[in-house]
Amino acid sequence: MERTAVVGIGQTKHDTAREDVSIAGLVREAATRALDDANMDWADIDAVVVGKAPDMFEGVMMPELYLADALGATGKPLLRVHTAGSVGGSTAVVAAHHVASGLYERVLTVAFEKQSESNAMWALAPKIPFQPTLVAGAGGYFAPHIREYIRRAKAPDHIGIEVAVKDRVNGMKNPYAHLRIPDISFEKVASSPMLWDPIRFLECCPSSDGACAMVLTNSTHATNGKHAPAWVRGTAVRSEPLGMAGRDEVNPRAGRDCAADVYAQAGVTDPRSQIDLAEIYVPFSWFEPMWLENLGFAPEGTGWQLTDEGVTALDGDLPINPSGGVLSSNPIGASGMLRFAEAAMQVRGQAGEHQVDGARLALGHAYGGGSQFFAMWIVSSERP
Amino acid sequence: MRDVAVVSFAQSKSVRADPVRNEVEILMPVIQDAVANSGIPSKEIGFTCSGSADYLAGQPFAFVYGLEAIGAWPPVRESHVEADGAWALYEAWVLLQEGEIDSALVYGFGKSSPGSLRDVLTRQLDPYYLAPLWPDAISLAALQARALLETTEHTERELAEVAARSRRDAVANPNAQLTGDADPEALLKEPYIASPLRKHDCAPISDGAAAVVLAAGDLARKVSKRPAWIRGIDHRVEPHYPGVRDLARSPSTRAAAEKAGALSGPIDVAELYAPFTSQELILRDALGLAKPNGTKINPSGGALAANPMMAAGLIRIGEAATRVSSGEANRALAHATSGPCLQQNLVCVLEGE
């Protein structure tokens, strides 16, 4: 098995509507930056792995076929992954296996969503025979999970607001972030309209156009990039059924199993002390404390205390989403890969204003569907 | 390369429209058959990967419900490609190369009946310059067929012969949808639906599903009397715009076949995913099978007899593997395609011990 390294990272400026670029232009912006960071050209790439969420978000069926030219994939293998909201993460995992298997030396992986092409709320609300329609969008789906978390953990009401403020403060330090709210404050979030109790408007992710790209290589090419490589220390995916009665949607077993798998690969026995920072998929503010528990950073029922004590702030002991996270930019199909890429940027020391001092070991996390698809990786500045 | 084999294959009977069963209900018996026949307990299968396309069902996340069909509890290692199940098989094969897991379940499924397939597939085209013109799948294939007839020695009669042979061979395939005797001369008297293509030049529209179980090394030998070993597998994509390609040729098929080692020896059976008769000729030219000396082409009847989208490529691999495992073939080639006019192609070489 080959060691896998991240040697190039690129992302677009994320925005409500990137009307200045086509879908091809969007993915190419991210991919070009990743190649540039890796000191590589299109011809250096052996295979391309593309991910995005449902095709109805752009209204293009299997758009990777149309993007083959823009991604320099012609004449090469091109694989398209789709695992719901976790897809950005699982796409990076598939790309990592392309290298780890020894089959490919330099793989370009790209994830994107150009949500302005369509309407995600509409795309998520089809009328399917014998199934309830999800006309309330993702927030309406997840709000009951959050209420159940608050009930179980006896969490105070203000935790979600704190997360929303923290991630937007972090986002202001990230030049690629979509939302920039200079006057963000506890009061501003608290007074924003309640959309799906207990989720307020400013506790929601935006709807973004954006893309993320990475170049993964084996150890032969690992040190040729503009920055030191991020070594992939473990990757894991887990899925569980949507409709199984009795599954715990608040603290899903698939997430716990996925974390246990990736920690075992990376030699992590105590994530709270060993992991320097994590980029986790938080589309609604309350998912920060929920995932802190699911990921084993805090015992069940106490994740909110880490948020409340400032542990998860950029200058805290365990920074969560220093990039501003999904709450600051959410091109859905790319959001998972952005978490993976931002984790790698931190251990490569290339995160700029939102760099966590001394970051050496970082977790990237993505989830999707009805809290049922999980993808994670751990990256390190140290070669395994 | 680690030895990985197809040890089990199952498929549904393809039908024009299954108005009663949804995708999950079509899938469940197929997956149960494939797993039961593999001899590997389902809870011991190391990885699951599926292929499907949301636009066929007309709903986002259509694949999510497939998970209900495999009983993903406790949670499983699982992935999904928005493509034919043949590419899901490729993803599983890549993972098996690392040596951490020894088996994988792969499935592909699609119901084309809810929509108008030839129109649905126009949504697969460049959304800015091609899709607004609504060039449907049959019209694009007709352009390709015209290029073939104009720039090569191939004739319309050969197209009709491919159609007749496919239907005749499909008689022995209980899962086929379009079977029977057809006289090429009579077929040539039929009207064009998109010149130079007649109705018999086009695959039927199908609902269906297929599943394959892969196993590595000793596990494959343990559960199968004669595993169908994957000796090589590769896939390549071509430019998207039909206008910048030589549509009469398939360089991506050729490149994938070379990488997969397909051209290094005789092929007993070739299962080619050619949803149009003209595409079979293009593929055979690319694979050196223009004159199939000793190679049986599409003994199942191929996609011209049954074409469940997102499963038909995986079915080619399953059909080829079945013929290797039965001893009927020692070396088989399976091919899958995706996109307009054979834009993307996968070649898999299977051998007996």
Least confident of A135-144, A163-172, B168-177: A135-144
Hey, which residues 64-83 in chain B have their CB within 8 Å of chain A?
64-65, 67-68, 71-83
Query: Distances in Å between the alpha carbon of B40 and those of B33, B75, B323, B327?
Result: 12, 18, 21, 22
CB-based contact (8 Å) between B61 and chain A? yes
Which of A1, A66, A247 is opposite residue B127, by nearest beta carbon? Answer: A66
Confidence of residue A341 (pLDDT cuts 50, 70, 90): very high
Per-residue confidence (pLDDT) for residue B292, from 0 to 100: 83
A-chain CB neighbours of B236 within 8 Å are: 75-77
Is residue A268 in some structural domain?
A: no
For the stretch A170-216, pLDDT in tens is 999 999 999 999 999 999 999 999 999 999 999 999 999 999 999 99
Neighbours of B157 (CB within 10 A): 12
- CB distance A242 to B64 below 8 Å: yes
pLDDT at A132 over 80: no
Classify residue A353: in a domain, yes or no. Answer: no
Rounded Cα distance, A35 and A41, in Å: 6
Q: What's the start-to-end Cα distance of chain A, in Å?
A: 12
d(CA A168, CA B241): 42
Residue in A with minimal Cα distance to B124: A61
Residue A214 belongs to a domain: yes
What does the longest C-alpha to C-alpha distance in chain A come to?
A: 57
Partners of A84 on chain B (C-beta within 8 Å) are: 61, 64
Mean pLDDT of chain B: 96
Residue A375 C-alpha from the chain's centroid: 9
Cα A183 to Cα B187: distance, rounded to the nearest angstrom: 74
Please give the residue range of the domain that contains residue A73.
5-120+207-221
Provide the terminal-to-terminal Cα distance of chain B, rounded to the nearest Å. Answer: 15
Q: What is the dihedral of CA B44, B49, B50, B55, to 10 degrees?
A: 140
Sign, CA dihedral A168-A169-A175-A181, equals positive
> Do residues B9 and B300 lie in contact, with contact meaning Cβ atoms separated by under 8 Å?
no
- In this prediction, residue A156 carries a pLDDT of 98
Structural contact between residues A166 and A318, judged by C-beta atoms closer than 8 angstroms: no
Across A5-14, A113-122, A239-248, A374-383, least confident range: A113-122
Domain membership flag for residue A41: yes
Number of domains comprising chain A: 1
One-letter amino acid at A112 equals F
Judged by CB atoms within 8 Å, which residues 18-47 of A form the interface with B?
Answer: 22-23
Nearest to B238 by CA among B340, B150, B310, B110: B340
Write the CATH number for A58: 3.40.47.10
The residue assigned the tokens 């607001």 is A161
Instruction: Kindly report whether the global pTM for this prediction surpasses the value 0.95.
Output: yes
Q: What is the CA radius of gyration of chain A?
A: 19
Q: Cβ contacts (< 8 Å) between A218 and chain B: which residues? A: none
Stretch(es) of chain B classified as CATH 3.40.47.10: 4-114+206-225, 117-199+229-351
Asked if A253 and B87 come within 8 Å (Cβ–Cβ), the reply is no
B contact residues 228-257, partner A, Cβ 8 Å cutoff: 234-241, 251-252, 255
Residue-level pLDDT at A129? 66
CATH architecture for residues B117-199+229-351: 3-Layer(aba) Sandwich (3.40)
| Contact status of A62 with chain B (Cβ, < 8 Å) | yes
In degrees, rounded to 5, the angle at the alpha carbon of residue A196 between the alpha carbons of residues A195 and A200 is 50
Do B196 and B145 touch, CB atoms closer than 8 A? yes
With 80 as the cut, is the pLDDT of residue A44 above it? yes
Q: Is the pLDDT of residue B226 over 70?
A: yes
The share of chain B scoring above pLDDT 90, in percent, equals: 95
Instruction: Tell me if chain A has a CB within 8 Å of the CB of B20.
Output: no
pLDDT at A124: 75
* CA distance linking residue A204 with residue A201, whole number of Å: 6
ipTM score of complex: 0.98
Supply the pLDDT for residue B71: 86
- Please write the tens of the pLDDT for every residue from B237-295: 999 999 999 999 999 999 999 999 999 999 999 999 999 999 999 999 999 999 988 99
- A72 domain-assigned: yes
Do B227 and B220 form a contact (C-beta atoms < 8 A)?
yes
Asked whether A294 and A256 are in contact (CB, 8 A), the reply is yes
Judge contact between A232 and A383, C-beta under 8 A: no
pLDDT at A134 over 70: no
Q: Does A319 reside within a domain? A: no
pLDDT tens across A62-118, in order? 999 999 999 999 999 999 999 999 999 999 999 999 999 999 999 999 999 999 998
**Contact indicator for A91, A111 with CB cutoff of 8 Å:** yes
Tell me: pLDDT of A130 over 80.
no
Amino acid code (one letter) for B268: D
Q: Does B74 sit behind a cis peptide bond, omega within 30 degrees of 0 on the bond before it?
A: yes
Q: How many CB pairs under 8 A join A and B?
A: 181
Mutation test of the interface with chain B: which of A1, A28, A74, choosing the one with the most B Cβ atoms within 10 A? A74
- A239 lies within 8 A of chain B by CB: yes
State yes or no: pLDDT of A135 exceeds 70.
Answer: no
Q: What is the pLDDT of residue B57?
A: 86
Band (pLDDT 50/70/90 cuts) for residue A131 is: low
- Contacts with A105 from chain B: Cβ below 8 Å: none
Read off the pLDDT band of A137 (50, 70, 90).
Answer: confident
Does residue B221 register a pLDDT over 90?
yes
- Residues in B closer than 8 angstroms to A69, CB to CB, are 239-241
Which letter does DSSP use for residue B13 in this model?
P
Q: Which of B65, B121, B240 sits opposite A66 (nearest CB)?
A: B240
Q: Is residue A48 a part of any domain in this protein?
A: yes
User: A120 and chain B: CB distance < 8 Å anywhere?
Assistant: no
Output phi, psi for B257, to 5 deg: -65, -40
Most A CBs within 10 A among B3, B63, B79, B122, hence the mutation to make, goes to B79
Angle between helices A287-294 and A159-171 in degrees, nearest 10: 90
* Per-residue model confidence (pLDDT) at position A48: 98
Mean pLDDT of A107-135: 81
Helices (H), chain A: 23-37, 64-67, 87-100, 120-123, 137-153, 159-171, 186-190, 253-266, 271-274, 287-294, 303-308, 325-328, 332-348
In the DSSP assignment, the letter for residue B332 is E
For B209, counting Cβ atoms within 10 Å of its Cβ (0-12 exposed, 13-18 middle, 19+ buried), the class is buried
Class (C level, CATH) for B4-114+206-225: alpha beta
Compute the nearest-CA separation of A309 from chain B (Å).
Answer: 33
The backbone torsions φ and ψ at residue B260, rounded to the nearest 5 degrees and listed phi first, read -80, -5
Range list of H helices, chain B: 23-38, 54-57, 66-70, 85-97, 117-120, 137-151, 156-170, 184-188, 217-223, 251-259, 277-286, 312-325
Average pLDDT over residues A294-312: 98
